[in-house]
Amino acid sequence: MQILITGASRGIGAGLLAAFRAAGHDVTGTARTPLADLWPLDQTDPDSIAALARRWGDRPLDLLVCNAGIYNDRALALPNYTQDIWAQAFSTNVTGPALLVGAFLPVLAAARGRIVFLSSAMGSDARAPGGSYAYRASKAALLNLGRNLSRDLADDGIAVGIYHPGWVQTDMGGPGAEISVAESVAGLAARIAELQVTNTGRFLNYDGTPIPY
């Protein structure tokens, strides 16, 4: 498969890149500050997204994994929220993935490919314990984007999966998180292998458990 993974310099993105390469796939990873063979991408910048699409060219794309994201309001109290905090969260976590899908739609359609959004259970309306308003709202919006795209793209043979990677021991999740990157990646790879148009649009935990919206 031809695979493109955003945010592949560390954590879950790096883990997925390594796992898919080990399985023999042709995988391209991106990073805001590229290292080694990673391609540059600032998904808050439409010009950067356009440049990435031009560099990719007309090669059919079997799998687009929208992994890059930020959690910029951890433990932030409501009076301290600013317009910039909200704008950064939505630009990175929602607008960027939406623009990426638009930019790569022709090559995804050519492959009858798949799109994966790494959302979060924190975006579930059914699980609303409070706090982290910008992160939760942006991940809820990403879930909504994925659900609607799954309907609109099904006729083109493009399937969309929305997954919660678990609470993972990464820079974002912290050392006290529940599972390792390897556990998360193994589960996500299994979910991606199952993804097809007949089950498009599902919101699942990395282990396959459905997450309530």
Which domains are present in the chain? 2-205 (3.40.50.720)
Per-residue pLDDT at 177: 63
Q: How many CB atoms lie within 10 A of CB 49?
A: 23
Over residues 172-180, the mean pLDDT reads 69
Q: What is the pLDDT of residues 31-41, one digit of tens each?
A: 998 888 999 99
Burial class (CB in 10 A: 0-12, 13-18, 19+), 110: middle
Catalytic pick from 71, 81, 133, 135? 135
Q: Is 206 a catalytic residue?
A: no
CB within 8 A of 26, min separation 6: which ones? 1, 2, 3
Helix, coil or strand: residue 68? coil
Question: Are 82 and 23 contacting, i.e. CB atoms less than 8 angstroms apart?
Answer: no
Per-residue pLDDT at 171: 61
CA 167 – CA 157 distance, rounded (Å): 31
Query: CB-hemisphere CA count at 13 Å for 9?
Result: 16
Q: What single letter denotes the amino acid at residue 150?
A: S
pTM metric for this prediction: 0.94
